[in-house]
């Protein structure tokens, strides 16, 4: 049995994802970043449904529900729990300012649109539709990782980059090949749990969450 969606929410969802990317690049408060990541996670869980223009089956619906729970609820809960356990210290200034990061994110989006037009028509037309937003999300995640000095913010970038990778794979929903993405999500869940523990213990050991302090350690 298959169910057809009464409307096509793909472009709306992609637009929200791109706007959340720019908001994450300009956000200074970790709690706001976690809310944006939770929203992105819910959208990622619904993206295979939005991309399934020919209808989706019960298997895809079930997998999408798992995605939405893990990416939109479990991972943000782990991030909030880690944030609450960190000492109330002032966040270190990023390597690149928030406004400059937003400008770089807009440049990344422009580059992604240009690359999407240059690569021509893909075998799966849906891939051409999601490519600009997926690539822009990957770039935004990389920017968060390399421009932030706080370890938790770098974790945000890692999750955003994974959202971009997942978004590029969402057109494969119609072929029911989502088991690979589910495996990746379980790996991400374990990685986020381990990184949360690492941040907690490093903050207790060094009384700081600045990556520069860890990079300056010597044997």
Structural domain for 60, as ranges:
2-215
Q: From 134, 129, 130, 139, select the one nearest 106 (Cα to Cα).
A: 139
- What proportion of the chain, given as a percentage, has pLDDT over 70? 63
Distance CA(45)–CA(72), nearest Å, equals 8
Based on the structure, what is the number of domains in the chain? 1
In this prediction, residue 200 carries a pLDDT of: 62
pLDDT above 90 for 137: yes
Q: Tell me if 108 sits within 8 A of 143, measured CB to CB.
A: yes
pTM of the complete model: 0.79
- Evaluate if residue 66 carries a pLDDT over 80: no
């Amino acid at each position: 049995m298959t169910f057809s969606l009464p409307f096509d929410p793909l472009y709306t969802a992609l637009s929200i994802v791109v706007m959340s990317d720019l908001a994450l690049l300009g956000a200074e408060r970790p709690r706001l970043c976690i809310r944006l990541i939770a929203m992105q996670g819910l959208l990622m869980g619904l993206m295979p449904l939005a991309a399934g223009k020919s209808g989706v089956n019960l298997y895809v619906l079930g997998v999408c529900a798992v995605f939405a729970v893990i990416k939109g609820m479990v991972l943000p809960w782990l991030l909030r729990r880690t944030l609450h356990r960190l000492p109330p210290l002032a966040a270190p200034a990023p390597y690149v300012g928030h406004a400059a990061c937003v400008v770089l994110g807009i440049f990344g989006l422009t580059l992604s649109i240009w690359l999407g037009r240059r690569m021509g028509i893909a075998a799966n037309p849906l891939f051409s539709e999601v490519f600009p937003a997926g690539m822009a999300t990957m770039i935004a995640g990389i920017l968060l990782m390399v421009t932030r000095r706080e370890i938790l913010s770098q974790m945000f970038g890692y999750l955003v980059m994974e959202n971009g990778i997942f978004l590029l794979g969402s057109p494969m929903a119609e072929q029911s090949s989502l088991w690979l993405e589910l495996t990746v999500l379980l790996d991400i869940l374990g990685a986020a749990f381990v990184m949360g523990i690492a941040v907690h213990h490093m903050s207790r050991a060094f009384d700081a969450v600045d990556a520069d302090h860890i990079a300056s350690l010597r044997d």
